[in-house]
A and B are shown apart, each in its own frame.
Chain A
């Protein structure tokens, strides 16, 4: 059974810092990996999607990498802003649209 772990569970940084969120998964036979953002009491917003054949994806200040063989992914956020404060979820795709989620990393960026 696929298990997804996210470290750290919570992170508090001052504005402007670069930061890295970590995600690990137990079964490397994945279809894709996605990073989502969830604001309190809200749904999910897809940030980056990495296909199993890809190594990384970039969108603005966000960069996500994937090392399938070691079962790891990282989300790099450059020059963090207070508006980045949210919970970041990593989800592994195991087949057509089936996702297994980690518990998330709660990020707080202070002004």
Chain B
């Protein structure tokens, strides 16, 4: 089946530093990838849609200058949290759609990245 990986799986950083999270589709190509954020006991909230070869589309309330997204290839999207602060501590998950044989479009999710900002 389709596999999506994320790296790193967890990261701890100091306030004010930047952190880059990678999302890769391992066995399929994805022109679009999605970035979600999940706070404890909350639902996943869509942050942005990453588009290969063009600018990302951000959801309302998400600062595009703070959460930089680059979709450099058909298998890699990166999310950089710039000047991270403790309130950015969260679980970040990416996903990529893949059309199965027969036409069913399914989202495949990465394992997530736990970010803790001290």
Query: How many pairs, one residue from A and one from B, have CB atoms within 8 Å of each other in the complex?
Result: 56
B54 at the binding interface (Cβ < 8 Å): no
Contact of B104 among A41, A49, A98 (CB under 8 A): A49
Of B13-21, B40-48, B67-75, B81-89, the stretch lying at the interface with chain A is B40-48
Least CB distance, B58 to chain A, in whole angstroms:
13
The CA-CA distance from A101 to B112 in the complex, in Å, is 16
Contact B43 A103 (CB under 8 A): yes
Query: Contacts A42-B112, A96-B97: A34 and B43 contacting too (C-beta < 8 A)?
Result: no
By a CB distance below 8 angstroms, the chain B residues around A4 are 43
Which residue on A lies nearest to B105, using beta carbons? A97
Query: Contacts A44-B93, A49-B104, A97-B34: A102 and B43 contacting too (C-beta < 8 A)?
Result: yes
By a CB distance below 8 angstroms, the chain A residues around B112 are 41-43
Q: Say what secondary structure dominates the interface of chain A.
A: strand
Which residue on B lies nearest to A9, using beta carbons? B41
Residues of chain B at interface, number, CB under 8 A: 25
Contact B107 A97 (CB under 8 A): yes
Contact A98 B46 (CB under 8 A): yes
Residues of chain A at interface, number, CB under 8 A: 22
By a CB distance below 8 angstroms, the chain B residues around A42 are 111-112
Which residue on A lies nearest to B94, using beta carbons? A43
Least CB distance, B33 to chain A, in whole angstroms:
9
A110 at the binding interface (Cβ < 8 Å): no
Least CB distance, B46 to chain A, in whole angstroms:
7
Contact B32 A97 (CB under 8 A): yes
Which residue on A lies nearest to B110, using beta carbons? A43
Contact B32 A99 (CB under 8 A): no
Within 8 A of A (CB), among B61-118: 91, 93, 95, 97, 104-112, 114
Mark contacts of A69-111 with chain B using CB atoms, 8 A cut-off: 1 yes-contact digit, 0 otherwise.
Answer: 0000000000000000000010100001111111110000000
Q: Which 3 A-B pairs have the closest CB atoms?
A: A44-B109, A43-B111, A97-B97
